[in-house]
């Protein structure tokens, strides 16, 4: 729908003699992800160079994990790419670091017009980023910690403010000095950034951290259940758990419920999806607050940042996508049960004023 709308707008301008149409992908049919006509944007200007000719080839080298976040992010990136006449060539290593390195090697060898790297481990990916930059290929990364950002555009959600928002709620709910648990993993850029905020909030509020556990895997939600279950059996008097990645949050929630502790233990997460909203809004759910972006809007935003940069229109080298903190009460008051309704209740989630141009409005799924 988004693609058709751009075509219609551009055609109207061309008919008025205002611009010359080029043979671009935006004249193709709608992508399967562009299902919501209410979210369809219109461009008020023609695509600039290098998007006004043959499709611009971009390799998207992903290291995605389990869960809806990554799926929605990819759908948003694909929809925005199609809108901008980008031929997005996607690989996904799915927790296999060696495969992601090999995918990136192959992408560099193919000499695309640009490369996007989504997640990954610093030690395996940094040398290849340097190789791509040295080869003159524009590179943009999302949620990847680099030791050398020279020539690279970095992007992320505003992880620090996400953690601050939901932890402010935690402290307001359970008070200073409360017994709390932490469920996360190290070595993942967004989780490490959220951990820094957690450490500060714990220190500033004398929180008593009675357990720290957690892992990221191909089955993150399932694999965290026994870890949190064991921690809760040792510490049934804990008052709150911070689990800052929705797959981990869901595992923590399940462990709380199977220990019948949902009336005394509150869970605070990060991220949102239809599946997460089902869990949060279930009767008596312990998941009481989460900080989140719309992952589809973020995937689209990363593609826009790259496109603006290739067009010479991006001023910054680091782009952070703002998030909001969502409480169970807010969802109930606004009768929100899915992401579409959440977008309607919180239009800022569309990120339609972040890295946009007259020729490049935000496209959402
Ligand atoms: C393993 S890292 C998981 C996080 O990355 C994404 O950016 C999501 O916010 C998720 O929490």
Write out pLDDT tens, residues 313-343: 999 999 999 999 999 999 999 999 999 999 9
- 81 lies in the same domain as 173: no
Beta bridge partners of 286: none
Q: Which DSSP symbol is given to 37? A: G
- 287 lies in the same domain as 171: yes
- 17 lies in the same domain as 120: yes
What's the pLDDT score for residue 12? 30
Q: How far is the CA of 159 from the centre of ligand 1 (A)?
A: 9
Q: Decide whether any atom of ligand 1 lies within 6 Å of the 159 Cβ.
A: no
- 15 lies in the same domain as 153: yes
Phi first, then psi: what are they for 118, rounded to 5°? -110, 115
C-alpha to C-alpha distance for 102 and 235, rounded to whole angstroms: 44
- 303 lies in the same domain as 313: yes
- 121 lies in the same domain as 137: yes
- 30 lies in the same domain as 143: yes
Residue 362 lies in a domain: no
Q: Which of 143, 159, 247, 291 to mutate to test the pocket of ligand 1 (most atoms within 8 A of CB)?
A: 143
- 226 lies in the same domain as 288: yes
Do the bridges between strand 179-183 and strand 240-243 make them parallel or antiparallel, or are there none, so unpaired? parallel
Write out pLDDT tens, residues 141-159: 999 999 999 999 999 999 9
- 39 lies in the same domain as 106: yes
Q: Which domain holds residue 182?
A: 159-292
C-alpha to C-alpha distance for 16 and 299, rounded to whole angstroms: 34
Ordered mean pLDDT values, 10 residues apiece, the chain (365 residues): 36 27 26 40 92 98 90 97 98 95 98 98 97 98 97 98 98 98 97 98 98 95 98 98 98 98 98 97 98 98 98 98 98 97 97 97 86
Residue 286 lies in a domain: yes
- Per the rule left: phi > 0, alpha: psi between -120 and 50, beta: everything else, 17 is left
| Ligand 1 atom at minimal distance to the Cα of residue 156 | 7
Distances (CA, A) of 340 to 39, 146, 287, 365: 10, 34, 20, 10
Count the domains in the chain: 2
Residue 333 lies in a domain: no
C-alpha to C-alpha distance for 62 and 120, rounded to whole angstroms: 8
- 305 lies in the same domain as 248: no
C-alpha to C-alpha distance for 305 and 76, rounded to whole angstroms: 13
Q: Decide whether any atom of ligand 1 lies within 6 Å of the 73 Cβ.
A: no
CATH number of residue 266's parent domain:
3.40.50.2300
Residue 308 lies in a domain: yes
- 53 lies in the same domain as 81: yes
Q: How far is the CA of 141 from the centre of ligand 1 (A)?
A: 14
Q: Which of 362, 217, 354 is nearest to 296 (CA)?
A: 362
Residue 339 lies in a domain: no
Torsion of CA 264, 266, 251, 268, to 10 degrees: -170
């Amino acid at each position: 729908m988004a693609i058709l709308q751009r075509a219609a707008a551009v055609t109207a301008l061309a008919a008025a003699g205002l611009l010359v149409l080029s043979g671009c992908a935006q004249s193709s049919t709608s992508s399967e992800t562009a299902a919501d006509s209410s979210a369809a944007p219109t461009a008020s200007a023609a695509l600039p160079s290098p998007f006004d000719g043959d499709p611009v080839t971009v390799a998207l080298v992903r290291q995605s994990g389990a869960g809806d976040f990554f799926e929605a992010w990819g759908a948003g990136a694909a929809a925005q790419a199609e809108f901008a006449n980008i031929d997005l060539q996607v690989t996904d290593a799915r927790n296999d670091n060696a495969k992601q390195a090999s995918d990136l090697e192959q992408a560099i060898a193919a000499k695309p017009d640009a490369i996007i790297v989504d997640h990954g481990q610093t030690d395996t990916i940094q040398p290849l980023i340097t190789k791509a930059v040295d080869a003159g290929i524009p590179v943009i990364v999302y949620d990847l910690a680099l030791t050398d950002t020279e020539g690279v555009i970095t992007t992320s959600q505003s992880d620090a403010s996400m953690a601050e928002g939901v932890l402010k709620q935690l402290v307001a709910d359970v008070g200073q000095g409360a017994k709390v648990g932490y469920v996360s993993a190290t070595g993942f850029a967004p989780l490490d950034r959220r951990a820094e905020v957690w450490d500060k909030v714990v220190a500033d509020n004398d929180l008593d951290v009675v357990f720290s556990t957690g892992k990221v895997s191909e089955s993150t939600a399932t694999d965290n259940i026994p870890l949190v279950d064991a921690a809760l059996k040792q510490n049934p008097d804990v008052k709150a758990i911070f689990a800052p990645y929705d797959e981990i949050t869901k595992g923590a929630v399940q462990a709380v419920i199977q220990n019948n502790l949902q009336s005394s233990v509150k869970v605070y997460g990060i991220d949102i999806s239809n599946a997460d909203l089902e869990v949060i809004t279930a009767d008596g759910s312990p998941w009481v607050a989460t900080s989140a972006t719309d992952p589809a809007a973020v995937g689209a935003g990363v593609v826009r940042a790259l496109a603006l940069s290739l067009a010479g229109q991006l001023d910054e080298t680091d782009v952070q996508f703002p998030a909001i903190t969502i409480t169970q009460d807010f969802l109930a008051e606004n009768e929100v049960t899915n992401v579409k309704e959440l977008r309607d209740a919180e239009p800022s989630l569309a990120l339609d004023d972040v890295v946009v141009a007259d020729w490049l409005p935000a496209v959402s799924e």
